[in-house]
Structure 1
Amino acid sequence: MSDYLVVALVTLLGVALVATAFGARRALAPSDPTPEKVTTYESGVDPVGDGWQQGSVRYLVYALLYVGFAVDAVYLFPWALVIRTHLGVASLVEMAVFVGVLVIALLHVWRRGLLRWW
């Protein structure tokens, strides 16, 4: 039961630390909200009209593909550095399966036409 008490105490201490930081910022930081300060600012262009604009889902597909291949690189480069010294054939098969799944996903996305810009 003492392990749970330690976890609860650390959790409460973390919550108290965050609450203290928020309170100190609220008490010490200057606050002078003016209409110019609370206006949306985007790349030096003044906002015109409402903030809603229909966006294309294609950009989300590109972002997800980038994240998928970035994660692939994060796993592939360290693996490639130690494959000759520490890893065996089983590791080579595992990495082939991993890259194969990514290639199948890329072929699926390409076949559905999601990689076209227009």
Structure 2
Amino acid sequence: MTLMIQGMIILILSLLMMSMSSILSKKTFQDREKSSPFECGFDPKTSARLPFSLQFFLIAVIFLVFDVEITLLIPLITIMKTMNTSNILILSTLFIMILIIGTYHEWNQGALNWAN
């Protein structure tokens, strides 16, 4: 019960601090000069905020996920000496199946198509 009360106090204090900081801040979002990019005092010719390729972002995230999963596979080689062969086989098969299912899901979602 005391843990729940402490959690509520922390939540209330956090919300109070965030609301007070947003009320007391002197930043204005409508200031045209601050929201526009700096080009020697002249109005910019084009938008400084270029569109971001979502497909590139998805490929980068998929690369990072598989990179981390490969680093998780490497210790299986050293564990082979200490564990039973059937346990290693089940563990590695389960891990590889999760990777294959994830890749298949990304393929079905169209994240791996570069033609778009």
Distance 1:72 1:7, change over 3 A: same
Q: TM-score, normalised by structure 1?
A: 0.55
Other-structure match for 2:44: 46
Distance 1:61 1:48, change over 3 A: closer
Distance 1:75 1:21, change over 3 A: farther
Distance 1:3 1:35, change over 3 A: closer
* Paired-residue identity, %: 11
Aligned length: 103
Counterpart Cα distance in 1 of 2:31 and 2:15: 32
Other-structure match for 1:75: 69
Of 81, 86, 96, the residue aligned with 2:79 is: 86
- After TM superposition, give the deviation of residue 105 of structure 1 in Å: 4.6
SS in 1 for 2:34: coil
- After TM superposition, give the deviation of residue 11 of structure 1 in Å: 0.4
Task: Could you tell me which runs of 5 or more consecutive residues in structure 2 were left unpaired when the two chains were aligned.
Answer: 81-87
Q: TM-score, normalised by structure 2?
A: 0.56
Other-structure match for 2:55: 61
Query: What amino acid maps onto 1:12 in structure 2?
Result: I
- After TM superposition, give the deviation of residue 20 of structure 1 in Å: 4.4
